[in-house]
Structure 1
């Protein structure tokens, strides 16, 4: 059995994770602890309120008792909001506190883009433009080119209510002919049920926050697994 512990901010799209767990191998577990977000994570400046070390450390003991082999801070804006170096510091402190390998959704996106061999991406964000710029800057610091970025500027509560049509529309609006991959960075967005449809809609790989969060935790736990319904990132390698 492989257990990836998740620190998830507030309550929005957390039901994506049980769905992902079902679609993955039967011996993968994704226990979750909800953290205090300190406000709407979509507002400029608010991501910093979600990610202080003491907020994240509060859930570590419970995840260790659940048998976690790795930890992921399941927030994108709550990590890239600290900038490239600050996000590294955040994760180093989390790993030190837990005594386990740790990462965040933001770094999951970086590692997943590299795994797909891509260098140019399009971003479909639900954030205000200023927050989206923080994410594109984070990607740029990792050497990933952002050829287009869409900012919807809706609140976390609104995002959590979006369904299939809104999610696919966001991916299509963000896509660009020069982009090799489309990124949907908000962990408040329900995407687990739509991954195959998203990739068909834009005819290229799509990386979504909750999908990438789980993949990153499995990567840290050195667990390789494949799932047909979870997009190119989880596709079985060609022989």
Structure 2
């Protein structure tokens, strides 16, 4: 006859939610930030794409989104049984435009992911949910990479009313909160309905709410929308502040 302890353990196992597979670029350094958006009972299974020495240019963004590497990385994170797999890279998921983003998601699904999301796809979903059509964007990129983001947004009928980049070719994770706040404040315009801080390698968790209070509009960030969409895919809600998370209804798990 099973003991009360064994029955209780079975109940706990049956309530254990699926985790998330996270595929990040080789230089991703903010694992701790992704965990902050995850509920305590949701595990993140992170893997990285292959290392290469190209600086952060359009060519690097294209290389990061290589389908063969993405397929292999997806299979790497399937062993623990995640409920969804997300490609946590902004430039790598917008550099090929809308069609390129679709191909990335399809590649993950074909590799066995139960659900698949990308950072740039998540951004579009978040903008639609908030009804945003005019956006100001702050990026760490050089102009050529930022221009690809503008083009991607145009394909989704989102107008970029203002943009500013830091012109960095590497070490993006070393940018401080103060520097992020400075560039976001500088890029804001009265006609911008919201602001987006691009790149999953920029720290943003603690500054979203202060920026929204100061600017009186939604502030979206790459890691925020990545985790928001990935968690929605498994019927969960991201942990944290900001108008996006406050407005987001929980999606029922399939």
TM-score, normalised relative to structure 2: 0.85
d(CA) in 1 for partners of 2:24, 2:127:
22
Q: Give the deviation of 1:83 after TM superposition.
A: 1.9
Quote the offset at 1:226 in angstroms: 5.6
Instruction: Give the alignment partner of residue 225 of structure 1, picking from 216, 219, 237.
Output: 237
Distance in 2 separating the partners of 1:211 and 1:232: 11
- The match for 2:20 is 4
Label 1:237 to 1:192 Cα distance change in 2 as closer, same or farther (>3 A): closer
Taking the aligned partners of 2:24 and 2:141, their CA distance within structure 1 comes to: 18
Show CA shifts across 1:207-236 (max 9, x none). Answer: 111111111112222x24264x33111116
What is the CA–CA distance in structure 2 between the aligned matches of 1:96 and 1:169, rounded to whole Å?
Answer: 41
> Within the alignment, does 1:209 sit opposite 2:226 as a pair?
no
The one-character-per-residue Cα deviations of 1:103-132 (angstroms, maximum 9, x if unpaired) are 210111100111112111111011111110
Q: Is residue 43–residue 131 contact of structure 1 (8 Å, CA) maintained in 2?
A: yes
Distance 1:230 1:28, change over 3 A: farther
RMSD: 1.9
Residues 143-180 of structure 1, C-alpha deviations (whole Å, 9 max, x = no match): 111111112111330x2112221111121122111111
Q: Tell whether 2:157 aligns with 1:143.
A: yes
The 1:236–1:144 alpha-carbon spacing in structure 2 relative to 1, beyond 3 Å, is: closer
Asked if structure 2 preserves the Cα contact closer than 8 Å seen for 1:12 and 1:156, the reply is no
Q: Is the 8 A contact 1:37 1:50 kept in 2?
A: no
Contact 1:74 1:210 in 2 (8 A): yes
Partners of 1:39 and 1:91 in 2: CA distance? 25
Q: Which of 177, 183, 208 is equivalent to 1:170?
A: 183
- Which aligned runs of 4 or more in structure 1 are off by greater than 6 angstroms? none
Structure 1 position 55 matched with structure 2 position 69: yes
Q: Secondary structure at the match of 2:31?
A: coil
Q: Which has the higher contact order (CA 8 A, sep 6+)?
A: 1
User: Which has more radius of gyration?
Assistant: 2
**Stretches of structure 1 lacking an aligned partner (at least 5 in a row):** none
2:57 is the counterpart of 1:43 = yes
Indicate conservation of the 8 Å contact 1:71/1:100, yes or no. Answer: yes
Preserved CA contact (<8 Å) 2:62 2:92: yes
Is the Cα–Cα contact under 8 Å of residues 85 and 113 in structure 2 kept in the other structure? no
* Greater Cα shift, 39-48 or 71-80: 39-48
Distance 1:237 1:97, change over 3 A: closer
Aligned length, in residue pairs: 232
Alignment of 1:172-191 (within 5 A): 172-191=185-204
Shift of 1:66: 2.0
Relative distance call for 1:226 and 1:93 in structure 2 (3 A) is closer
Check if 1:234 corresponds to 2:237. no
